[in-house]
Copies of this chain bind each other. A is one copy, B any other.
Amino acid sequence: MRAVVPFDAAAPKTRLGPLFDADERGALAHVMLEDVLDALDGAGLEPTVLATADVTVPAAVQVDGRPLTAAVNAVLEAAAADAAEVLVVMADLPLATPATLERLVEPSAELVIAPGRAAGTNAFVCRHPAFRVDYHGTSYLDHLAAAQAIDASVETVDSFRLATDVDEPADLVEVLVHGASTRTGRWLADRGVELAVTEGRVGVSRG
């Protein structure tokens, strides 16, 4: 199975601006990517990073400067031509583990999706030659509809770890709680980011 991790080398992650400057946000995106690569490696997969520009990572890199949807669809087209299965995993899922990725790879459905919050598509396995992605808006629902339109069988994986993409400070709570020993968890700890409980609500603060 081909395993592809799209990575926006310019990754702005601007919603993390209250905690990190632009350089730090770039470094954070990079350690999250490395956590995802570690998890794929642990699941016995050999990932290729599909990056918008060249990056230095412990994996093969394929550069495609196009937007996410076009770049992933090119991967799906190439796989269809070779009758290959493809796993696509977003790069901002530091809580991904080998076990959760195995739950994604295990079902035999032609499309297996791990939804993100707010109807996102955080990871999927494609075994149907005609399936293509569209990451805008409610992509999870759109992908279900696209699969139905081509009569592809679908399975959804119920995983909190794969649903947790890191976009805003509240998401870092989950990394501190469930991923303290990941690269991302240690990166956050090194920068003084820790859980903060205020009036019963749990957030993060940077010391």
State the A residues within 8 Å of B (CB): 99-100, 115, 117-119, 136-138, 140-141, 158-163, 170, 173-174, 177-178, 195, 197, 200-203
Contact = CB atoms under 8 A, between A and B. Distances in A.
28 contacts: A99-B158, A100-B158, A115-B160, A115-B177, A115-B178, A117-B174, A118-B170, A118-B173, A118-B174, A118-B177, A118-B201, A118-B203, A119-B173, A119-B177, A119-B195, A119-B202, A136-B200, A137-B202, A138-B177, A138-B195, A138-B202, A140-B177, A158-B159, A158-B161, A159-B159, A160-B162, A160-B163, A163-B163
Q: How many copies does the complex hold?
A: 2
Name, among A118, A160, A163, the residue most crowded by chain B CB atoms within 10 Å (CB to CB).
A160
A140 B136 CA distance: 34
A83 to B, nearest CB: 31
Contacts of A158: 99-100, 159-161
Contacts of A136: 200
Contacts of A161: 158
Contacts of A178: 115
A156 to B, nearest CB: 8
Contacts of A200: 136-137
